[in-house]
Amino acid sequence: MSPTRQENRRRNLRRWAPRGAALAVLGLAATGCASNDLTRLGMPEPITDQAERVLSLWQGSWVAAFAVGILVWGLIAWSIIFHRKRSEQLPPQVRYNMPIEALYTVLPIVIISVLFFFTARDQAILLDTDEPADVNIEVVAFQWAWQFNYLDDKKENGGEVLFSETGIPNPDGTADPSTQTTLVLPEGATVHFDLHSPDVIHSFWIPAFGFKMDVIPGRDNAFQADLQDDSEGEYIGRCAELCGVDHARMLFNVTVLPQDEYEAWAAEQREEASQAELEAAEIEGNESGDAESGAAEPTEDVESGEGSGAEGAGAGGAGTDEEGTGSGGSDAEENEQ
């Protein structure tokens, strides 16, 4: 190398080094002054222990990607700045350089192996359902809404669930939260989800869980979530699998309540459901009585049935009891169209 070229290179370095350093400091400051939003790299704030794990995996993967990126960008910048074409003479070629070729092969294998190890480890933990759960919920995804059956409360006379939250697809297709089903959960609890679909493949997704799982007809998918102690709040839920023309309507709300408020809510649901069951039984009795006596005016009975019995009777809805019972049947039919 000629003395002038060496001189040039040194001058270049003097010129570019401070600029590069300034840029690096600016980059660091930009990340340092931002809130947690930026360090989460687009992930929602986690509300379960599992979501924390997913977040760590996500961040770790980005750190690895950035390390590779910075190395590659650095090499590109270095070549552009210090190795521009200066003459017609071909620079020294390094083809078939064994150490470099070996590095090209070994380094990606090492990177992929490390990423695979952490991914496989976390996946095994995320899919573990052995821990005894505090709350068991059957999620039924159907075209195009959700039903949440609270499995811990069964009807006294049979194995049916006592209460459920059943969504009705919003007829005008807008994302109006007031028409969406709400999944109510207690904070600090371990919740077990069983996922079932009577029609096509859906995907149960609560972004704040950092997790989604497909709901597949004929397959028993399940997972558990350990809700954190300070997770009280309102969250959103989505279907994350294109499941038909009204897929976009498959929205739901998630409300996480403190333990005592959840207990109160569940007690209220139990009470309402038992009441509705009683009324439904009464109506059935009346109807058979009317039929026997030949009464021609069942309108009053039907109306009262619609009002009070719809929620409880519709509980079997699209999931466990496709016909529905009493007036709930009309709801279930609507849902399926």
Q: Are 129 and 187 in contact (CB under 8 A)?
A: no
Q: Which stretch binds Cu ion (CB under 5 A): 131-139, 198-206, 261-269, 284-292?
A: 198-206
Q: Which stretch binds Cu ion (CB under 5 A): 60-68, 89-97, 165-173, 201-209?
A: 201-209
Q: Of 240, 243, 266, 283, which lies in the binding site for Cu ion, with binding defined by CB under 5 A?
A: 243
Burial class (CB in 10 A: 0-12, 13-18, 19+), 50: buried
Q: Of 54, 250, 256, 315, which lies in the binding site for Cu ion, with binding defined by CB under 5 A?
A: 250
Q: Are 165 and 153 in contact (CB under 8 A)?
A: no
Closest CB 327 distance from Cu ion, rounded Å: 26
Q: Of 53, 192, 196, 202, which lies in the binding site for Cu ion, with binding defined by CB under 5 A?
A: 202
Residue (136 or 203) nearer to Cu ion, CB: 203
The answer to the question of residue 240 lying near Cu ion (CB under 5 A) is no
| Six token digits for residue 156 | 């006294």
Q: Which stretch binds Cu ion (CB under 5 A): 22-30, 72-80, 171-179, 231-239?
A: 231-239
Give the Å distances, CA to CA, from 59 to 42, 217, 258, 292.
10, 34, 30, 70
Q: What is the DSSP string of 87-153?
A: SSSPPPP-TT-HHHHHHHHHHHHHHHHHHHHHHHHHHHHHT---SPPSEEEEEEEETTEEEEEETTS
Question: Within 46-105, which residues bind Cu ion (CB under 5 A)?
Answer: none
Closest CB 227 distance from Cu ion, rounded Å: 24
Site size with Cu ion, rule: CB under 5 A = 4
Residue (51 or 243) nearer to Cu ion, CB: 243
- Residue 45's SS3 state is coil
Q: Which stretch binds Cu ion (CB under 5 A): 24-32, 55-63, 205-213, 232-240?
A: 232-240
Q: Are 315 and 166 in contact (CB under 8 A)?
A: yes
Q: Which residue has the tokens 């003479």?
A: 89
Q: Of 133, 185, 239, 313, which lies in the binding site for Cu ion, with binding defined by CB under 5 A?
A: 239
Residue (111 or 168) nearer to Cu ion, CB: 168
Burial class (CB in 10 A: 0-12, 13-18, 19+), 274: middle
Q: Which stretch binds Cu ion (CB under 5 A): 1-9, 174-182, 199-207, 275-283?
A: 199-207
Q: Which residues bind Cu ion (CB under 5 A)?
A: 202, 239, 243, 250
